[in-house]
Amino acid sequence: MLISRAPVRISFFGGGTDYPEYFIQHGGAVLATAIDKFSYITASPFFSRLFDYSIRLSYRKVELVKNVDEIEHRVYRECLKFCGLDKDIELHNVADLPAFTGLGSSSAFTVSLLHALHSFKGEFVKPLDLAYEAIYVERHLVQDKVGCQDQVLAAVGGFNLVEFRTEDDIIVNRVPISPQRLQEFEQHLFIVFTGIRRKAADVVAQQLQKVGDNTATLKEMRYMVDVGWDILTNNRPLSEFGDLLHRAWLAKRSLDGSISNTEIDQIYQMGIEAGAWGGKLLGAGAGGFMLFFAPPECHKNLYIRFNKHHILSAKTNAPGSQIIFS
């Protein structure tokens, strides 16, 4: 048996510019970090000659199939076919967080699965190549309307400014931040679950139809990536990072009416009233986790205000996809 894991992520700036529909023409970038919440895959040999099926899979359900084409789970099916595995394998998935919550868990699953399958075959794949494979599987084999940042953060980990040129030409720049500055930064993060789950591809479909109309806003969001980098790396006041997040959220909301709603707006306003400098909904919009950026002395007020919500504690700069047992 072997066990792989890949992290989910928090994206601060540039989300929306990581879609090829935008960045191939204009260039895109995000400032984002992998966090210490993971999607795990266990892979082990399965002696199909002793059973009446060839592959066993488990996730929220169990599938026992005689051939790959019978698999209902699209990502399992396409990853197995992509890696040339058609029998004698058993795969299980568990995760620290549920899907459809704005943290890139679907891509973390894909990256972790591909890593496990390659390792099962005795193959080594470089982290960024693993990201390219996951992008190809999700966008072209599964045909989901997804961006390209989640796969990169899941594969390479870390706290990064990621630049997107084409689907197979992506530049990862590590944020040069001291441990002390990173610790101070983390103390300002406050993450709340809105209670709303949604599939990112469904939300994004409408946004992608408006890329042409939203080009100026997306360029502004791309510019915020560089400003965020400058705030972090030049020891500017972290209040500026919070103010920038507020600007980013207003820009994101303007892309499409489906991104926010009355309930989400109320949650955001609650955080601001409790002392947060700014924040944003994580992921494509319409639900999932809300990130607030607030001085540590205001976190008590935030805990009180959101005492009926699930509050997520997370560490940044988590490692990328790993084989943690073999």
Delineate the domains of the chain, giving CATH numbers in brackets: 2-176+317-325 (3.30.230.10), 179-312 (3.30.70.890)
% pLDDT > 70, the chain: 95
pLDDT at 258 over 60: yes
Q: What is the pLDDT, as a whole number, of residue 202? A: 61
Average pLDDT, the chain: 94
- Give every strand in the sheet of 189-193, ordered side by side: 278-281, 289-293, 189-193, 311-312
pLDDT in tens, 76-127: 999 999 999 999 999 999 999 988 888 999 999 999 999 999 999 999 999 9
Which has more pLDDT, 288 or 280? 280
Specify the pLDDT at position 207. Answer: 64
pLDDT tens figures, 268-287: 999 999 999 999 999 766 67
CA distance 320 to 303: 30
Q: Report strand pairing: 89-95 vs 55-58.
A: parallel
pLDDT at 203 over 70: no
Q: Please name the residues in contact with 248: beta carbons below 8 A apart, sequence gap of 6 or more.
A: 12, 13, 221, 224, 278, 280
